[in-house]
Structure formats: C-alpha cells, structure tokens
Amino acid sequence: MKLVIGLALVSLAFGSTFFPTEKDEVDLVSTSQKDQASGRIAVPPPNNLPPIRNGGIVNAAPILNPVASPIVNTGTAGALVGGGASQVFFSPVRINIDQASQLYVPPGTDGRIIVLLKNDGVGDFFLLSGGDDKNFFIQFDYAQIQLGPGQTLAVPGRIRVPHYANNVVSTLTIIVQRRTDNAISRRQVYIRTKSEPGEKWAPWCTIRTVTRCDSYLDESICASRYWNMRAEIQDTEAGLLSVSIKPDGRFLGEDFIIGTNESIAVEQSVSCCTTGVDITAVDVRGNTATCRADQCNLKKKN
C-alpha cells in the first residue's frame, strides 16, 4: 500500500504544472489607485525574442522612468501625414537609434545599441523587447518604460558578436507594445560584424516632387489646404541611420530599416501655412546631408 501511494506521489510531481519561484517572478506595476496588480508571469530566456504578452512584463529588469519620475520633453505630437479623408495614422511610438550606437561590431567583441523611443500618443507604460536572426542581441537594460505624451527616452541594449562571425549582417527587430491596448510599434536595424567603415561621404538627398499651394498661401485659408512633397535619400556606404523633417512631423517612409544602403522615399503632406520643409539625413558614421522642399522656390521657378 505504501509503495502504491509513493508511486502516485511521484507521478503527480512529474505531471504537475511548474510554478516559478519568487525570484523568477515580477509584479505588474499599477498606474492608478484603482488599478490593482494584474498578477505575475515567468521570466523568459534573455537571449531570445520574448513573446508579447497581454499586459505582462517580459523580464525582471527595472522600469525606466517610473511613476514618481518627472515627465520631460513633453509637447504636442508631431503632425501626421495628410489631412481630411487622406490622413494616415502611425504607430503610437517612434523608434529611432541614437548616433552613439555601435551598428558595426568587430567579431569577438561586445557592442551597445541605444534606442530612442518617442511617444506620439497618450501617456502609458510600454513593453520593450528585441531579437535578431543571428542571436547577436542580448537584451535591453529595461523591459518596461513609462512615457508621457510627446516624451522621448533613450534605452540602451547589449550586443555580443562571436569571434567566428565575420562579415555577417544580422537583422534586429525591436518591438514596443503599449500596455493598455496592446498597440505595437516595430523597427528593424542592420547589425554588421566588421569594423566601422572609413568613408566620409554624406547621404544624398534629392527632391522629386513638390505640389503647389497656388492661391492658398493666405493666412485666412492656408490651414484648410495641403501640399505634397516627395524626396529620395540614400547612403551606399555606411548605411542610413536617421531621417528627420522640420517643422517636426511624421512622414511616409520613416520606418525604413536602419543601416540600409537602399534608396528611401520620403513623402509628406504639409499645410499650406508652412511654405518649406527641411529634410536631414544622417548615416551610421554621422555624416549629414540636408535638402529643402520649398513653395517659395517653386513659385520663382514657375
């Protein structure tokens, strides 16, 4: 009889569900007095792309910019592309890479990547994760951050390239998920396993299309009309790092793969109250080029 009970207990132990220990669990953080902690989840392996969970934290890293921290760099969200029925809606968080990041990592060494996250939506908590097809990326320093409206935060991450990986290009996918509604932003980055290139040529920028506002430049009616511009940008050596527009705004094509050598089409619809747009392109090495789409110059040419 004792032998049967013992075998039953052993069978139950091997067939039961595993529950993580206290050190492998994390409490969810509440943003409201009415919002209670939602529970705990197990910590995934740090070197793999963690699954996006419904309201969960993907590892035990501390929260960057917690509730008690002041909200910095606040402001209104940048203008969206288009107007009226043709308006285009973007993901809630812009994902860019800081120029200090190491996207050229020699074999057998470690590198750092610094992700810049700008929130164009409402303030919230966001889950941050990443993974690449060659397993060079290790993890971000923080798995969850808090962003206020218009706020930007820099989050570092670690890269490790094995000594045998020479002249390899790995594609890193960065995923940011808003906690309240699970809205997701994605961005891809090329990581190259060789020393930084020595070229000093800036990206090229060419304005391809600028439509006219004609008689809608008057301040009393300009806000109701838009003009469109299209530019092409390319860096064939180090690879393109970032493209920005002033006045600040979002544009079609902003989600290009960082580090690409391909030509990028930049398109934006601009209020006729704004007569010109400056486009600045920066490559991985830090070389910069600026071009301008301008209603005034177009009027003079015509």
Residues 118-154 have pLDDT tens digits of 999 899 999 999 999 999 999 999 999 999 999 999 9
Residue of 164 and 7 predicted with greater confidence: 164
CA distances to 131, 191, 210, 211, 275 from 299, rounded to whole Å, are 49, 44, 11, 10, 11
Residue 236 and residue 261 in contact, taking contact as beta carbons nearer than 8 Å: yes
Q: What is the DSSP letter of 3?
A: H
Residue 295 and residue 227 in contact, taking contact as beta carbons nearer than 8 Å: yes
> What's the pLDDT score for residue 296?
74
Mean pLDDT of 263-289: 94
User: Residue 251 corresponds to which tokens in the numbers above?
Assistant: 């544009």
Q: Residue 84 CA to chain centroid, in angstroms?
A: 27
Q: Which of 34-43, 108-117, 212-221, 269-278 has the highest mean pLDDT?
A: 108-117
Rg (CA), the chain: 24
176 confidence band (pLDDT: 50, 70, 90):
very high
> What's the pLDDT score for residue 195?
78
Q: Tens digits of per-residue pLDDT, 188-236?
A: 999 999 877 667 889 999 999 999 998 887 888 998 899 999 999 999 9
Q: Which residues of 118-133 are buried (b: 16+ CB within 10 A; e: fewer)?
A: bbbbeebbbbbbbbbe
- Which one-letter amino acid corresponds to residue 248? D
Q: Range with the lowest mean pLDDT among 48-62, 186-200, 210-224, 273-287?
A: 48-62
Which residue in the block uniquely carries the two structure tokens 């969810």?
Answer: 28
Q: Whole-prediction pTM value?
A: 0.70
Q: Return d(Cα 78, Cα 250) in angstroms, integer.
A: 6
Q: In the predicted model, what is the mean pLDDT of the chain?
A: 76
| DSSP SS3 for 178 | strand
Mean pLDDT of 163-189: 95
Q: Strand 226-234 relative to strand 204-210: parallel, antiparallel, unpaired? A: antiparallel
Mean pLDDT of 18-27: 35
Domains recognised in the chain with CATH numbers: 48-77+91-192 (2.60.40.10), 204-301 (2.60.40)
Which residue in the block uniquely carries the two structure tokens 């109250």?
Answer: 273
Mean pLDDT of 163-184: 95
Q: Return d(Cα 300, Cα 210) in angstroms, integer.
A: 13
